[in-house]
């Protein structure tokens, strides 16, 4: 979501409001269309604010600071080679053969393509670097750039999504709204507080039913028997 799209939604909402007012506010279909347009505007604003609120630079710094001081196999090999050359200075490092050069080039090209995919789904350079940290250090690479990019993004958002939704699930249930002539069902899912609705929207979840919110990484479902919201974190797809 960007500011251009938000402006378009606001224009649609303004037009819907004008039409509804001209009809005297008595046409239910126009009123319903107006409510949907205004809800879309609020959702877009929330999404835009959420993207701006996340400090990916700080998150990446925290990851780097907490990374264990473990050397890679390449670093270990380099250290060993340096020690050998110190002891036997006459030995000269041989250049990479053609196969090794091709392999190194393929790795670099794959990384560049994955970064391009992640960049298309990110809003800032800090967000790109944050997600690429998971590509470089956390995922098991498959060689499929789309699968690897998906896995890196999934891991980057997994902890944040889980923690936010678990915190939300522990809160007391909201109160079901009621209007004139309405009587809430005993089995109906309670309305979530506006703050929780905003948080769900920030995490990419959408209300697909009165008792269900769903996104690409998690599902929040109201359990009528237990009278509570149950959270399910979706597993990353298994690559074959």
Specify the pLDDT at position 200: 81
- Is there a contact between 201 and 142 (Cβ–Cβ < 8 Å)? no
Percent of the chain with pLDDT over 70: 67
Average of per-residue pLDDT across 185-214: 80
Q: Quick one: pLDDT band at residue 217, thresholds 50, 70, 90? A: confident
Q: Quick one: pLDDT band at residue 66, thresholds 50, 70, 90? A: confident
Vertex 103 angle, CA 97 and 105, to 5°: 105
Give the chain's mean pLDDT.
Answer: 75
For the cut 70, the answer to whether the pLDDT of residue 26 exceeds it is: yes
Specify the pLDDT at position 112: 92
Specify the pLDDT at position 225: 85
Percent of the chain with pLDDT over 90: 10
Chain centroid to Cα 18, Å, comes to 36
Whole-prediction pTM value?
0.44
Q: Is 9 left (phi over 0), alpha (psi -120 to 50) or beta?
A: alpha
Among 223, 237, 91, which Cα is nearest to 169's? 223
The Cα–Cα gap between 130 and 60 comes to: 5
Token pair 């919201």 is at which residue? Answer: 229
């Amino acid at each position: 979501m960007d500011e251009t799209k938000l402006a378009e939604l606001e224009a649609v909402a303004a037009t819907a409001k004008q039409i509804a007012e001209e009809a005297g506010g008595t046409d239910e279909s126009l009123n319903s269309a107006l409510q949907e347009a205004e809800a879309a505007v609020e959702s877009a604003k929330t999404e835009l604010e959420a993207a701006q609120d996340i400090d990916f630079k700080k998150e990446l710094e925290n990851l780097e600071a907490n990374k264990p001081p473990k050397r890679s196999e390449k670093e270990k090999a380099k250290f060993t080679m340096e020690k050998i050359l110190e002891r036997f200075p006459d030995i000269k490092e041989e250049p990479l053969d053609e196969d090794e050069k091709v392999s190194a080039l393929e790795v670099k090209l794959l990384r560049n393509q994955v970064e391009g995919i992640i960049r298309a789904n990110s809003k800032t350079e800090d967000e790109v670097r944050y997600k690429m940290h998971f590509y470089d250090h956390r995922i098991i690479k498959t060689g499929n750039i789309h699968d690897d990019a998906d896995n890196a993004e999934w891991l980057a958002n997994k902890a944040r999504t889980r923690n936010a939704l678990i915190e939300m699930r522990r809160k007391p249930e909201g109160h079901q709204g009621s209007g004139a002539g309405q009587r809430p069902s005993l089995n109906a899912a309670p309305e979530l507080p506006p703050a929780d609705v905003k948080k769900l929207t920030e995490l990419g979840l959408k209300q697909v039913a009165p008792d269900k919110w769903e996104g690409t990484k998690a599902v929040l479902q109201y359990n009528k028997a237990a009278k509570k919201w149950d959270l399910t974190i979706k597993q990353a797809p298994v690559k074959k």
